[in-house]
Structure 1
Amino acid sequence: MTSRAAESSGEMFGRYEVLHPIGRGGMADVYLAELRGPAGFHKTVALKVLRDDTVNQHEMLAREARVASQLRHPNIVDIYELGMVEQKTFLAMEYVDGPTLSTLMKLDVSMPPSVILEVGLAIARALARAHDTSGRPPLFHCDVKPSNVLISYDGEVKLTDFGIAVVGGVDHQKPDVIVGTPPFMSPEQALGLLIDAKTDLFALGIILGLMLIRRYPMSAPVLQQLRHGPLQPCLLSESDSQACDATISGSAHLVGRCLQSTPSERFSSAEQLVKRLELLQEQVGYRPSLKDWLDKVYPRKSSQALSSARRLSDTVALQSKTDVTLLKTPLIGRGPLVAEISAMVKSGQRLVTLTGQRGVGKTALARQVGDALSDSGEISLLYVPLRGQAGTVSVLHAVAAELDVALPDEPELNTMIGTVGRYLNSKHTLLIFDGADDAGQGVIEVLQAWLPEAPQLQVLVTSRQALALPNQSNKTVPPLKQHDALELLRCALAIVEQDAEPPEALDDMAYWHVVSQVGGVPSSLLMAAGKLRRLGPSAWLDPTLD
C-alpha cells in the first residue's frame, strides 16, 4: 500500500479497509481503517504502516507493539496487532478521534485550571501504570511530549508512541546514546546517562508548565543550557514559577519538583505526583471538564466528517510553477474562529459574511463550519461555489444544480427566484455562497428576495469584501499567526509529493526564514511548500532560482 494509493477510501489492506490518511510520522504513515469480520462485525482502528521497512524501523515498531501491549490502561493507547501485508509492516492500534495536546496548546485560548489538571493527571496516571513493577519490569517512555498525548472529543486522554521506551532492568542502555525529543529531554537524557522513571517526570513537568503559562517553562532546552556550563539545581525560573502559581496556586512547587536537574530531587514516583495533582484538583474543582471545554473551543468532528473535511474542506487545488497540483492540509490555527462563526450561526444570525484577502482560507473555514453544524444534525448544508458565475440567473442555476432542481430554459426571473427559494425554505438550511465576488449583484438580489420569505434559511458567504446588504454580520479572516504558519508549512511539506524526500535538510531557521518572507496566507504557504520540496531552502536565498 502506497501513501497515494491509500488516499482512496475503500482500499483493502489485509483484513482492514483503509478509509483515509490521518497522520505522517518520521518513519510511518497512519491511516484510519476498519477491521471487517463475519456477521457484520467491524472495528475502527488506526493503522501505522512503515514507509521504508528497514531492520531498524521494523524493530522500533515491534518494540512499540511489545511494550505497549503490556499496558492495559484507560490513559494509554491500546495495541491490537503487529503484522505484515504486501511486505509492509503495520501496527493496528486504538483510534482516538480528536486532536493531540500539541494542537490544543496552539489554540489562542488558555486552558482552564480544571482542564490543565485533568490532562496532567491523565498523563501522570499513564506513567504510573508504565512505571509499575507489579508482575513485570518497569517501562520508561522516554519521549513524553504534547504530540504523543492524544485527546478524544469525549474527553479521554491517551499516551501513545512507546517506540523508544526502555524496559528497566532488561534493556542494556548504551552509554552516550541520546534518545528522545530535545525540548523535552531531561539532563540525564541529554548527557546519555542511565534513564529511569524520573526522566518521564521531567518531561511531564515541562508539559505542565506549558499548559500553565503558555510558554516554554525553562530558559532553554537542557541540551542548549548544557553548552553554557553546569545546570541550575531547579530549571524553573522564578518568574515562570510565579506565573504557574498565578494560574493555579501551588502548581509551581509541583512543576519545579519535576524540573530538578538531579533525578533524586524529583518526585519519587509518578504515583506520588498523581496524589499531589489530585490535591490541587480538589482545591480547583472539576469544571469545566475537558470534554465541555473542547466542545466550546475545538468543535467535535466525527470520523465521517473528518473524512469529508479532508476530501472536501481542507483540499486546496493549486496550479503554479511549483508543480503543486493537490495539497491536503488540516485547518491549522483556526479553532477559535470556527467556534466563533459556528456560534454566530447557532445564535440565529441569518447572514454571516467571511471577508479577507485572496488565499487567506475563507473557503476552508466556511466548509469546516458547515460540516461541523451539518454533522451535528442541527442544520442541512448546501454548498454552492460561485467563482466564475456572473449575474442573478447564473447564481440561481448554480443553486438549483446543487439542489438537483430543474429550471425551465427561459422562465421569468422572479419565478425562478421564488421556485428556488421555496426549496431552500423546506427545511432548516445553511447555504454557503463561496466566492461571491464574481457573482456580485446577483448574490445581493437573490438574498434580498429569499431572506425575508424563507425564515428557515441561514446564509454564510465568503467574499473579499462585505456585501451591500443590511443586517449582515461580517467576520474578517486574518492571516495565520507566525507559529500557526510554521505548523502549516511543516504539514504541507510532509504531505506534498510524499514519495520524495526534500533535496536538502530543513532546520528550524529555514522554516522561520520562509514564514517570515511569505507571511501567514495559507495559499502562499502551500505554494512555498512545493517550491521548498523541489528546490530546498536555497530557493529562498537565491533569487535566480525563482
Structure 2
Amino acid sequence: PPPLKPGQDFEGWRVQEVISRSQQSLLYRVLDGQGQAWLLKTLPAQLADDAQAGQALLAEEWFLKRVAGRHFPEVHSAGQRQHLYYVMREYSGTTLAQLFAQSGPLPLAQWQDLAERLLRAVGLLHRRQILHRDIKPENLHLGDDGELRLLDFGLAYCPGLSQDAPSTLPGTPSYIAPEAFQSAVPSAQQDLYAVGVTLYFLLTGHFPYGEIEAFQRPRFGVPVSAGRYRPDLPEWLAQCLEHGVAADPLQRYETAEEWLLILEQGERRSLSVRPRPLLEREPLKVWRTLALLALLGNLVLLFLLFHG
C-alpha cells in the first residue's frame, strides 16, 4: 500500500495511526465498519519490490490462520485485496516484558500459570510443524481478557514450506539456542530453549548464561541455577529450568508436552534429570558435616589410644 494517513479510508478500513515502523514491517491501527480496532501489517516502501519479503509476509498470515486459537492473534478473513497486507485483531493488555518492567520478577504462582499456558501454545505450534524462532517476553501478550497470546510470526519457519533459513541469526541473542550460533537447522529444541530463557528471565531478571550482546561469540558452560536468585524457588523447579536451558539440545525436553506434564504434576513427579550433587547444592553443610565426622573420628582414636 502507499503510505497511509490517519483518517484515511483504505479498502474498507479507517486508518487511525502508525503503531510501529521498522526495516522489515509497517504496522497501522485501523478500525472496521463497527469501530473494532485491528492491526494492519504490511511492508515498508523500500521493500515494495522485494519478492522474498512479500512471500514472507504472506507466509506469516498463513501461519497465524493455521494455528487459529486462543493462544494466538485472530486474523481477519479479508475479501479481495488490491494490496499486500494482512489484518489481525488488536487486544488490550500488556506484554510480559512490560509487566516485568512494571512489577519485576513474577510471583511463583503467576509464573507457573503463565509457563503452562506458554507451553500449550508452543506445543500447538510444533504439532502444526511451525517453529516460532523468536519467543521472548516482548512477544508474549497477556490480554485484559486473561489470555496469553504468542505474537509476531515474522521469523516463523515451517520445514518444507519456508525458504531456507537465513544465514543471519534470527531473534534476540540472549534467547537464541547455542546450536543456532553454529548454523544448526531450525528445530523445536531451539524454540524450547527460548521458552526456558524466557521463563528464567521472568522469574529472576537474569539470563542463565548471562546476557549475550549482538555480534558476541558466546560460550555456554553450566547455567546458573535460578535458585541462586530466587530463594523461594523449589528445587524441582530449579532443575526443571536447568533442563530447559541445557546447552546440549539432546539434554532438553523433547516436546513442550513433556515439559508441561512436569509442571502440571509438580513435586509429585520425579524429574527425569540428574539431581545436582549435595556438595554442589549445600557445600557448607557438607564440609561442616565432614569436619564434624573427622573430629569425632579423632576423638575415638584418642580414646582408644589412651584406654587401649
Above 0.5 in TM-score?
Answer: yes
Residues 142-197 of structure 1: per-residue CA shift (max 9 Å, x gap):
11111111221222110012222121354464585533322211012221111211
Q: Give the aligned residue type for 2:101.
A: K
Query: How many angstroms apart in 2 are the aligned matches of 1:55 and 1:282?
Result: 53
> Structure 1 residue 71 and structure 2 residue 67: aligned?
yes
> Which secondary structure does the structure 2 equivalent of 1:207 belong to?
helix
Provide the rounded CA distance (Å) in 2 between the counterparts of 1:223 and 1:32.
31
- 1:261 matched to which residue of 2? 247
1:213, 1:247 within 8 Å by CA — same for their partners in 2?
no
Q: Indicate whether 1:114 and 2:100 are aligned.
A: no
Matched, 1:47 2:40: yes
How far apart are 1:63 and its partner, in Å?
1.3
- 2:30 is matched with 33
The answer (yes or no) to whether the contact 2:75–2:89 under 8 Å persists in 1 is yes
Return the alpha-carbon distance in structure 2 between the equivalents of residues 16 and 281 of structure 1. Answer: 52
Which 5+ residue runs of structure 1 have no aligned equivalent?
284-546
- For structure 2, list consecutive stretches of 5 or more residues without a partner in the other structure: 270-308
CA contact (8 A) 2:175 2:197 kept: yes
Asked whether 1:23 is paired with 2:9, we answer: no
Question: CA–CA distance in 1 between the matches of 2:252 and 2:181?
Answer: 17
Cα pair 2:42 2:57 within 8 Å, conserved: no
Deviations 1:267-286 (A, max 9, x none): 11011112222234999xxx
The TM-score with structure 2 as length reference comes to 0.75
The answer to whether residue 5 in structure 2 is matched with residue 14 in structure 1 is: no
Equivalents in 1 of 2:27, 2:174: separation in Å?
24
Q: 1:242 aligns with which of 203, 222, 228?
A: 228
Within a 5 Å distance, the mapping from 1:9-408 to structure 2 comes to 10-36=7-33, 41=34, 43-52=36-45, 53=48, 54-81=50-77, 87=83, 89-133=84-128, 138-171=129-162, 173=164, 178-221=169-212, 226-227=217-218, 231-232=220-221, 234=222, 236-238=223-225, 240-244=226-230, 246-247=232-233, 249-280=235-266
SS in 2 for 1:110: coil
Q: Give distance in 2, aligned partners of 1:248 and 1:33.
A: 46
Higher relative contact order (CA 8 A, sep 6+): 2
CA contact (8 A) 2:23 2:44 kept: no
Contact in 2 for aligned 1:65/1:79 (Cα 8 Å): yes
Q: What is the identity percentage for the equivalent residue pairs of Structure 1 and Structure 2?
A: 21
In structure 2, give the amino acid aligned to 1:185. I
Per the TM alignment, residue 84 of structure 1 is displaced from its structure 2 partner at its CA by: 8.7
What amino acid is aligned across from residue 37 of structure 2 in structure 1?
T
Tell me if structure 2 keeps the 8 A contact 1:113–1:248: no
Give the Å deviation of 1:124: 1.1
Structure 1 residue 209, shift from structure 2 partner:
0.7
What's the secondary structure of 2:69's corresponding residue? coil
| Cα-to-partner distance string for 1:118-157 (whole Å, 9 max, x where unaligned) | 2222221111000115xxxx11111111111122122211
Equivalenced residues, count: 266
TM-score normalized by the length of structure 1: 0.44
Amino acid at match of 1:77: P
CA contact (8 A) 2:236 2:267 kept: no
Structure 1 contact 145–184 (Cα < 8 Å) conserved: yes
Q: Please give the alpha-carbon distance, in whole angstroms, between the structure 2 residues aligned to 1:97 and 1:174.
A: 33
Aligned-residue offset at 1:256: 0.8
CA 1:278–1:153: 2 relative to 1, 3 Å: same
Aligned mates of 2:200, 2:30 — CA distance in 1: 35
Amino acid aligned to 1:112: P
Contact 2:27/2:41 (<8 A) preserved: yes
- CA drift of 1:65 comes to 0.8
1:83 and 1:210 mapped to 2: Cα distance?
42
Q: Which residue of 1 aligns with 2:289?
A: none
User: Is the Cα–Cα contact under 8 Å of residues 205 and 255 in structure 1 kept in the other structure?
Assistant: yes
- Residues 399-418 of structure 1 aligned to structure 2 (within 5 Å): none
- Distance change (3 Å), C-alpha of 1:242 and 1:109: closer
Q: 1:112 to 1:174 in 2, by over 3 A?
A: closer
Residue number in structure 2 paired with 1:307: none
Asked if 1 retains the 8 angstrom alpha-carbon contact of 2:208 and 2:245, the reply is no
Structure 1 residue 11, shift from structure 2 partner: 2.0
1:83 CA drift (Å): 8.2
Could you say if the C-alpha distance between residues 31 and 176 of structure 1 is closer, same or farther in structure 2, counting changes exceeding 3 Å?
Answer: closer
8 Å contact kept, 2:27–2:39: yes
Q: Equivalent residue for 1:339? A: none
**C-alpha spacing 1:248/1:115, structure 2 compared with 1 (3 Å):** farther
